[in-house]
Amino acid sequence: MANVKNSPGRDKYIIAIEYLKGINREVNLEKAYQLTLEAANEGFPYAINSLGAFYLNGMHVASNIDSAIKYFLNAYHLGNPKAAFNLCYLKQKGIEHIDLVESKDGYFSKAVEFALNDLQRGENIALDFLIEDIGATKERIDYLLKKHILSHPICSICDEYIIEKNKPFKDIIRFGDLGNLNSLGKQDVIIALKADPIVTKGLSCYPCFVKYVQPMRELFFDGFISRTHLDDIMNESLNSIENRLELLKNAIFLYNMKKIYDKKKPGSI
Ligand SMILES: [Zn+2]
């Protein structure tokens, strides 16, 4: 899965929050605002939402509800949970605005859904949000996340949402331990494929299954590639997603070359 810690602007946002809340640093609104602005310009959704909060509360900038709504909506459209939560808050306060098209409850459920999306991709800010802002317990989050992952499976290989990416393959295959999708009432979207042996716990989209999982299975069972080698390829702290796909492709390429060579024995003359 993608390393969220590399998201542009994320580091600046984290420091901005530290300046804002006085964590590890003296409170400094000016620095908090500047870093938030920079992180927002780099496109980090949590920072874009934060700018809205600066305007809503008149912190460091003059209070301006229209600017606040503008930033909240920008972040909301990027799927940011805090922005959805802030829009829910505005609705609850009885603030009406032509662009606030969802109901209070609608924004609230989006806040939870977006947080689970982020959490699924390893974004811990979403975890803090669920605990601190939503007041969810760890057990509740575990439960929600399990349910969410089953209904919004992400491909462990390319990191895309399986359902979005695979519309044409919707009814294709159903594997082993996905049986409990049925109990969640998702009978018609059983499209996730198990990504073994590339990832020991995870799912694959159909294109990745054909392109990587099947050939890697063959390599693995023929002893051409070891468990350790596979784990090294898929190690997300060692390799970026692009890197991993490249390494998988190379391994498959070499294997195919070897097969051709084996057939041609005793060798080309
Ligand atoms: Zn994929």
* pLDDT tens-digit readout, 132-163: 999 999 889 988 887 787 777 788 888 887 76
- CA 108, 112, 117, 123 torsion-angle sign: positive
Tell me, in angstroms, the distance from the centre of ligand 1 to residue 247's CA.
15
Tell me, in angstroms, the distance from the centre of ligand 1 to residue 207's CA.
6
Tell me, in angstroms, the distance from the centre of ligand 1 to residue 152's CA.
13
pLDDT of 71 strictly over 70: yes
Q: Which residues contact 82 (CB under 8 A, 6 or more apart)?
A: 46, 49, 50, 75, 111, 129, 133
DSSP alpha helix (H) spans, the chain = 10-21, 29-41, 45-57, 65-77, 81-92, 104-120, 124-132, 138-151, 162-165, 206-208, 214-221, 227-234, 241-264
Tell me, in angstroms, the distance from the centre of ligand 1 to residue 110's CA.
25
Tell me, in angstroms, the distance from the centre of ligand 1 to residue 235's CA.
16
- The reported pLDDT for the residue numbered 205 is 82
Q: Which candidate, 95, 34, 93, 31, places its Cα nearest to that of 66?
A: 95
Tell me, in angstroms, the distance from the centre of ligand 1 to residue 204's CA.
5
User: ∠ CA(198), CA(192), CA(245), 5° rounding?
Assistant: 35
Share of the chain above pLDDT 70, in %: 85
Tell me, in angstroms, the distance from the centre of ligand 1 to residue 206's CA.
7
Tell me, in angstroms, the distance from the centre of ligand 1 to residue 1's CA.
11
- The reported pLDDT for the residue numbered 268 is 57
Tell me, in angstroms, the distance from the centre of ligand 1 to residue 84's CA.
28
- The reported pLDDT for the residue numbered 162 is 76
Q: Which residues contact 143 (CB under 8 A, 6 or more apart)?
A: none
- The reported pLDDT for the residue numbered 192 is 65
Window from 1-5, 68-72, 175-179 with minimum mean pLDDT: 175-179
pLDDT of 31 strictly over 70: yes
Torsional class of 9: left (φ above 0), alpha (ψ -120 to 50), beta (otherwise): left
- The reported pLDDT for the residue numbered 159 is 82
pLDDT of 4 strictly over 90: no
Q: Which residues contact 128 (CB under 8 A, 6 or more apart)?
A: none
Domains of the chain plus CATH, in order, are 1-152 (1.25.40), 153-269 (no CATH)
Tell me, in angstroms, the distance from the centre of ligand 1 to residue 160's CA.
6
Tell me, in angstroms, the distance from the centre of ligand 1 to residue 201's CA.
14
Tell me, in angstroms, the distance from the centre of ligand 1 to residue 226's CA.
22
Q: Which candidate, 213, 214, 255, 210, places its Cα nearest to that of 234?
A: 213
Q: What is the largest CA-CA distance in the chain?
A: 83
Tell me, in angstroms, the distance from the centre of ligand 1 to residue 157's CA.
5
Q: Is the pTM of this model over 0.85?
A: no
Tell me, in angstroms, the distance from the centre of ligand 1 to residue 203's CA.
9
Q: Is 235 helix (H, G, I), strand (E, B) or coil?
A: coil
The full DSSP string for 11-24 is: HHHHHHHHHHHTSS
